[in-house]
Structure 1
Amino acid sequence: MEVLGSLQCMLSPIQPNQIPPSNSKNAHLLTRRKALTFTSSIAAFYFQFCQNSDISGFPSAIAQPVDELQQEEDRAVQIFQGTSSSVVFIKDLELAKIPKSTSETVLPEDENVKVEGTGSGFIWDKFGHIVTNYHVVAKLATDRSGLQLCKVSLVDASGNSIIREGKIVGFDPDYDLAVLKVDLKGNELKPVTLGTSRDLHVGQRCFAIGNPYGYENTLTTGVISGLGREIPSPNGKSIREAIQTDAAINAGNSGGPLIDSYGHVIGINTATFTRKGTGMSSGVNFAIPIDTIVRIIPYLIVYGTPYTDRY
């Protein structure tokens, strides 16, 4: 734009009193000679300007938005590739009868098994602990019949897909949190990278990975729409300091991670408002903040119950 502006300035009209009378042949030749000299001066100045000036900013001004868009897309791809292997697919199963023996590598899934629901979770540590929402595994957590079973599909650190039975370790309905454990049997897992939720700001980019409607490893993007929200827990109490986001969260996303632009988990996707009678997401979605999760999960792993329930 700087170059174009300079040229426009130099091509301003010549004043009438600077043009000699046109009835003289010599004057006419002189006029042509001056015009040619003037045109040559423009060309000489232009080429000298191009050689001595840095005009690289002109094409870069156009290319810069393209480069920024490419960087943004590349970042989203990197976040998904780096985190998706730490996200698991959870299926709630109801058996028609109690099996004589339970195999952790071959789980029953035939006419005698009913899939009651699906959800998501993420790998907490290399010992096989899986964090998810309590409402995803509530039937298993409260089962007294022995007919409830939880199947966990995940990927190990080497990229191998494995299926294991998930055993309940602990749960806290007040905060809609639960911990499962799977038997590794020689498989090494890749835990998520934990972030913090104390310094989040409205407008930050965020990413959700989960299994909506059974579609595994689905990525949705959005921003943090609000902070300090209050949402109901499964037992009717309130979960405070929830994160509001417009990243799409649907049935099956529950228990999956909400991730920041650095690939760090900042929350667990938990709830969404739906339009009455449609089942469609309204775009108003909520996640439990990671600072709350970090405070509760270690107690569930060690004691099976939240800290407040042990006294």
Structure 2
Amino acid sequence: MAVLASLNSPLLPAASSSPDSSAKNPLFTRRRAMVAGSSVVVGSLLNLCNPNSKPLSSQSAIAQQQREEKDELDQEEDRIVHLFQEASPSVVFIKGLELAKIPKTSSEEVMLTEDENAKVEGTGSGFIWDKFGHIVTNYHVVAKLATDKSGLQRCKVFLSDARGTSFYKEGKIVGFDPAYDLAVLKVDVEGYKLRPVVLGTSHNLRVGQSCFAIGNPYGYENTLTTGVVSGLGREIPSPNGRAIRGAIQTDAAINAGNSGGPLIDSYGHVIGVNTATFTRKGTGISSGVNFAIPIDTVLRTVPTLIVYGTPYRDRF
């Protein structure tokens, strides 16, 4: 306040018209210095009046940081979207059907379109193994078809080709191994070009790394869930009562209908086959503790099933 009062002091003379008057009159120079200094003081006082205000440099830094964080978030979302778009065409939807009676015609298309005469036995997921139409899934997804002696069981596989064209075909059992809860189907893909999955490895997985499950929970096709690898080296029961060792534990949601679908890593490589989830007793609600068969086990089993079919011990 003392500085502000000095601006109106009568001791200061009027401004001279001489060009060098400021140099000759030190009071004039002092007056301009005091005016400049008072402006700084006024700005400081105004800043003090608003305790929430921040210096412009600080505000700019915060705004820049927020923009960078938003850009990083957008990049992460774009990466996951791209990951799903690349992997989902390789995932199939499997529907198990039980016909009311054996059709008189042997036409595959007629049998599969007569859904009004068929009862849906269950649904599941799978993924395209190769361009020849081999589909990998869980044994428990197609167990009724694998053990059918009545001739009434059918398997309807919904899939897409590399151009995004959706179609369905009847799936035929090639081989299965209940000890690892794995099965291989074959569909006729003449005239279609398939996009097989990209296979990864599971021996070098680490707890905490991101993973993604793609499948058809409760019949909702092409569903993506995200999570992390929660544990490694777990044991889960197989359909024949034995233990499947080395299973991957994840918190990526897996529900009924996800079985047989792929668990993929951040690069889109398949690291496991989604298989099981613990549920709260009597509720049917997932506990968030989910398991997948490691892809290294799948790589040892599936080629044998394709070439040799079902192991002799599991045929009867």
**TM-score over 0.5 for the alignment?**
yes
User: Does the alignment pair 1:36 with 2:1?
Assistant: no
User: Secondary structure in 2 aligned to 1:286?
Assistant: strand
Select the residue among 201, 204, 214 that pairs with 1:199: 204
Amino acid at match of 1:283: G
Amino acid at match of 1:89: F
State the shift of 1:29 in Å. 8.4
Deviates more, 1:274-283 or 1:105-114: 105-114
Match of residue 73 from structure 2 = 69
Q: 1:147 to 1:308 in 2, by over 3 A?
A: closer
State the shift of 1:73 in Å. 0.7
Q: How does 1:137-286 map to 2 (within 5 A)?
A: 137-286=142-291
**Contact 2:177/2:314 (<8 A) preserved:** no
- Return the index of the structure with the highest Cα Rg: 2
Select the residue among 73, 88, 98 that pairs with 2:102: 98
Measure the CA separation in 2 of the matches of 1:306 and 1:266: 24
Measure the CA separation in 2 of the matches of 1:148 and 1:84: 27
Measure the CA separation in 2 of the matches of 1:103 and 1:60: 65
Select the residue among 285, 289, 305 that pairs with 1:300: 305
Measure the CA separation in 2 of the matches of 1:170 and 1:138: 11
State the shift of 1:65 in Å. 1.3
Q: 1:34 to 1:117 in 2, by over 3 A?
A: same
Q: 1:164 to 1:283 in 2, by over 3 A?
A: same
**Contact 2:125/2:216 (<8 A) preserved:** yes
Measure the CA separation in 2 of the matches of 1:87 and 1:174: 23
Query: CA-atom RMSD, angstroms?
Result: 2.9
User: Secondary structure in 2 aligned to 1:261?
Assistant: coil
Unaligned runs of 5+ in 1: 1-15, 43-52
State the shift of 1:200 in Å. 1.1
**Contact 1:128/1:184 (<8 A) preserved:** yes
Select the residue among 77, 85, 89 that pairs with 1:81: 85
Percent identity, aligned pairs only, is 74
**Contact 1:296/1:307 (<8 A) preserved:** no
User: Secondary structure in 1 aligned to 2:154?
Assistant: strand
Amino acid at match of 1:216: E
User: Secondary structure in 1 aligned to 2:89?
Assistant: helix
Measure the CA separation in 1 of the matches of 2:253 and 2:131: 29
Amino acid at match of 2:102: I
Match of residue 3 from structure 1 = none
Match of residue 49 from structure 1 = none
Match of residue 118 from structure 1 = 123
User: Secondary structure in 2 aligned to 1:111?
Assistant: helix
Amino acid at match of 2:75: Q
Paired residues in the alignment total 283
Unaligned runs of 5+ in 2: 13-26, 42-56
**Contact 2:184/2:305 (<8 A) preserved:** yes
Q: How does 1:17-32 map to 2 (within 5 A)?
A: 26=11
State the shift of 1:71 in Å. 1.0
Amino acid at match of 2:78: D
**Contact 1:299/1:307 (<8 A) preserved:** no
Measure the CA separation in 2 of the matches of 1:286 and 1:85: 23
**Contact 2:229/2:248 (<8 A) preserved:** yes
Q: 1:309 to 1:95 in 2, by over 3 A?
A: closer
Measure the CA separation in 2 of the matches of 1:168 and 1:129: 10
**Contact 1:155/1:162 (<8 A) preserved:** yes
